[in-house]
Amino acid sequence: MRAAKIAGLLVLFSALNALSAQQVEQIVYVSTCDGNENIYLINEDGTGIKQLTSNPANDWSPKFSPDGTKIAFISDRDGNTEIYVMDADGSNKINVSQSPANDWDPRWTTDGKIVFLSDRNRYWELFIVNPDGSDLKSLVSNWVPEEHMCWSPDGEKIAEESDRTGNWEIYVGDSKRTKMVNITNHPADDIDPCWNYDGTKIAFVSDRDGDQEIFVIKPDGTGLVQVTHNHCDDYSPQWRPSENKKK
């Protein structure tokens, strides 16, 4: 009896493990479907699409915080470019740069602050700010947090776009760029690769159906999934980090 109960529990545990292993990941990206740039969140299988900005101005360059709860982005909704931060469901949008000057290129530090470029003092300089807009100060340093884009989480592989064969393809290889393998092999333009946080998948952009769409593919070139399906451009994919899938 006791052995049967333990066996039952083991079955339950392995079922739960399988569920968490198959957890659907999310991708944030930019789409022009509304006639201007807006930010969307979508499941990697193309379900659960959610529009996070609906402003008539342009909203672009979405960057997830390291804990996956917030998104920094650029918007020109007040007439000049600003850095905004919103919750991952699109609520609580805060202008954290607050300057009539140009504010660009938000990146998260590992401890959850935002570094960005601004020309508010005539020259381009780095600033750092909390995600609630507090404690904004210039960063007297050339240090810029590395962007999570092409490198696999273990740092041993790279994914890059190249038109070396006459059309744009995604190539995957080791960090020394030897043995780069074409994983897309399609006559359309395949660009903008972004690795997920456990290194098992790469999101990229392709215009193979006539306009730009988000696709997901495994690093060995198998398992291709078309994530977006529409007649406008979709680009700048970035995976949502989660507690169990952080670097």
- Which one of 211, 218, 221, 245 is in contact with Ca ion (CB under 5 A)? 211
In the complex, minimum distance from the CB of residue 85 to Ca ion, in angstroms, rounded to a whole number: 14
- The residue range among 77-85, 88-96, 150-158, 236-244 that interacts with Ca ion, by the rule CB under 5 A, is 77-85
- The residue range among 5-13, 121-129, 172-180, 210-218 that interacts with Ca ion, by the rule CB under 5 A, is 210-218
The reply to whether 36 sits near Ca ion by the rule CB under 5 A is: yes
- Which one of 25, 44, 82, 192 is in contact with Ca ion (CB under 5 A)? 82
The reply to whether 192 sits near Ca ion by the rule CB under 5 A is: no
- The residue range among 20-28, 150-158, 219-227, 229-237 that interacts with Ca ion, by the rule CB under 5 A, is 229-237
DSSP output for the chain: -HHHHHHHHHHHHHHHHHHHHTPPPEEEEEE-TTSS-EEEEEETTS-S-EE----SS-EEEEEE-TTSSEEEEEE-TTSS-EEEEEETTS---EESS--SS-EEEEEE-TTS-EEEEEEEESEEEEEEE-TTS-S-EE--S---PPPSSSB-TTSSEEEEEE-TTSS-EEEEEETT--S-EES---SS-EEEEEE-TTSS-EEEEE-TTSS-EEEEE-TTS---EE---SSS-EEEEEEPP-GGG--
The reply to whether 234 sits near Ca ion by the rule CB under 5 A is: yes
Positions that interact with Ca ion (CB under 5 A): 36, 38, 55, 59, 80, 82, 99, 103, 167, 169, 186, 190, 211, 213, 230, 234
